[in-house]
A and B are shown apart, each in its own frame.
Chain A
Amino acid sequence: MFLSIQYDSTFEGFLSAVFEIYRQHLEVGEIRPDRSAAPADMFLQPFHIETSEESAARLHRAIVNFASEEVYNLLHAAFLSEEEGVEMKIFAFLKKLFSGADPSYGQNPASAEMLPLYKLGQSVRREAGGMLGLVRFAVGPDNMLCAEIEPKYDVLMLMEAHFSKRFANEKWLIYDSKRDYGLFHDRTGCQVVTLPGYKSGAMDLKDSFTDLWREFYKSIAIKERENPKLLRRCLPVRYWNHLPERSMATAVT
């Protein structure tokens, strides 16, 4: 009987699941994160795998040995897309990688299994990079900077290093309200926090500089060159909610 492998939705959890699949010679029908709301396949038997840091680390080492650290990071990025079925795509790649049939398989970015993951990983990284500019802090109590984001992919942890370096001497919080967790930095280090019962929009505070920013934004547009299509392509509407300079525009249209 084929199994529906369940894990705790983290990358470590996924790696442990793959590790156990190899160790116990399991027959896999699908790999599902426990956050998944899709109806279960009735022909598959559910099988839960506990996350183990040790086995995740061993699988990490194996991927680096067979391919490279770069490939490991790419798989991680593709995993963060949270796309349905991405686990099976990564598993298919790993199966072929570990089969050893083609020793140079790990180096080929254009293989049938790697190419879709490569593309997916790139779009995740693209969003993580774009998001660095789209976080809007508001100055909250105790001079703390807080921001809310709702990215398409789970990119918050990819942004940690950038903001820790840039605002090393500030207290700040970036909260992903779609996935209900945030990053809190208190001048010494970062930690992951959750705010139970958080209501979206509670961090979009305003002050005089928000107004000045809107004024600036309005006055730099050149009327003769207006191009709404280009604007939407560069700055998709799904981000406008948390941008003070665009949120007025959503209210109007």
Chain B
Amino acid sequence: MDVREKLRILSAAAKYDVSCSSSGSSRCAPPGGLGDACSAGICHTWAADGRCVSLLKVLLSNACKYDCAYCVNRRSNDVPRATFTPKELIQLTIEFYRRNYIEGLFLSSAVIKDPDYTMELLVKIARELRTVHRFGGYIHLKAIPGASARLLYEAGLYADRSSVNIEVPSDKSLQYLAPEKNFASVYAPMNFFAERKLEYKASVSRYTPSFLPAGQSTQMIVGASGESDYQILSLTSGFYNKQKLKRVYYSGYVPINADKRLPVLTTKPPLVREHRLYQADWLMRFYKFRYDEILDEAHPNLDLELDPKIGWALRHPEMFPVDLQHADYEMILRVPGIGVKSAQLIVSGRRFAKIRLEQLKKMGVVLKRAKYFIYHPDTPASLRRLYPEMVRPLLLPRPKSGQLDLFGNTPLALPA
């Protein structure tokens, strides 16, 4: 099998891993070596599905000994199997990198023989790239659940970011869908990395080597098992606060395997739900929302029609309208239609002059949403209190108006 064929099989096998970022590390180019890392991350291209591509995302091998229901590479699937040799993979990485196709390498693998054997192979490639080829680009290494602490530690020294995928958002469903895995085996490497990172952070010597400078991430599949959004967000919030993860990715389940434990093959991937979960994730990371503010036991699922920020605002009419001239930065952040950049502009601009409606427009505030939630000198008296039941229909996306069908018998919808 030639490299081209292997690349085709092993990148197609890795494509369901959604982690794409190359951010968080500012590794300098090693003397005489090739490449560095850019802490903001750089996207190099976008795939036909609109996801950014910044790393050479491949599996080392797809010959897996596990049989997880949701995975393309499970033992019981009849798919072509391939394995890269370290030399092929290293050459691909370096040549792609020189042509500025990629930011670095994202290396994952199916479990061959046992976790330690697989992890050893992954670490070997990272070590060779860093030491023999003096490669300074980004390396994202998957940690294999069940690998020994020695190998994980070494992985942390060479990689910029590491990740272990939780895959299914509850322990019970995980054990049901992936009999060889459980939450404890996934949490073990995550906690190991988090603890080592804390130790490294505590030592202040400038000779301390960097340990996973870009932290960790994880991924979970949405829509393959019956968890509610509330459960998912509370799990996510735990990851951010306890394991100090940098990112949690959500992947709407694309039916690839016929299995009676999973939704049927004709199910469409829940793309809107996935989008809403990312919005909620953003609210937790950049807008200082707690997970139990976004959802609670009474509202366990995100509203598919409106974004979670509007959802929160409509459930808390007593907080609105917000007076942009005097409110805290945190409160301005919570106004639907105002993002982090506009909020900063408002806060630094209002020290010099009154913020008026037309200025907001120029700043890039989405007035279509924000106008119901802000108070400014020009606000008409009718909008000085927020009535959720009146505002909600105004915020919903309008159905597209098209030409009426002459022979259809759908009743004419008259404007109310």
A residues neighboring B (CB under 8 Å): 102, 104-105, 107-111, 115-116, 119, 129-130, 132-139, 145, 147, 162, 165-170, 209-213, 215-217, 219-222, 224-231, 233-235, 243, 245-246
Contact = CB atoms under 8 A, between A and B. Distances in A.
A95 to B, nearest CB: 18
Contacts of A243: 45
Interface residues of B, number: 59
B50 A219 contact: no
B38 A217 contact: no
A215 B8 contact: yes
Contacts of B33: 169
14 contacts: A110-B363, A111-B353, A115-B362, A137-B100, A165-B29, A165-B36, A169-B33, A209-B96, A216-B11, A219-B12, A219-B15, A220-B11, A221-B47, A225-B254
B57 A108 contact: no
A170 B34 contact: yes
A115 to B, nearest CB: 5
B368 interface: no
Contacts of A115: 359, 362-363
A215 B36 contact: no
Contacts of B271: 225
B316 interface: no
Given A115-B362, A166-B29, A222-B15, A134 B44 contact: yes
Which 3 residue pairs spanning A and B have beta carbons closest together? Answer: A110-B349, A230-B50, A221-B48
A224 B348 contact: no
A168 B102 CA distance: 17
B25 interface: no
A99 to B, nearest CB: 15
Name the prevailing secondary structure of the A interface residues. Answer: helix
Contact of B38 (A104, A132, A224, A234): A132
B349 A109 contact: yes
Interface in B21-45: 28-29, 32-36, 38, 40, 42-45
Contacts of B352: 102, 104-105, 107-108, 110-111
Given A219-B8, A222-B254, A133 B349 contact: no
Contacts of B299: none
B46 A110 contact: no
Nearest to B358: A112
B4 A215 contact: yes
A224 B254 contact: yes
A218 B265 CA distance: 23
B100 A135 contact: yes
A119 B362 contact: yes
Contacts of A136: 99-101
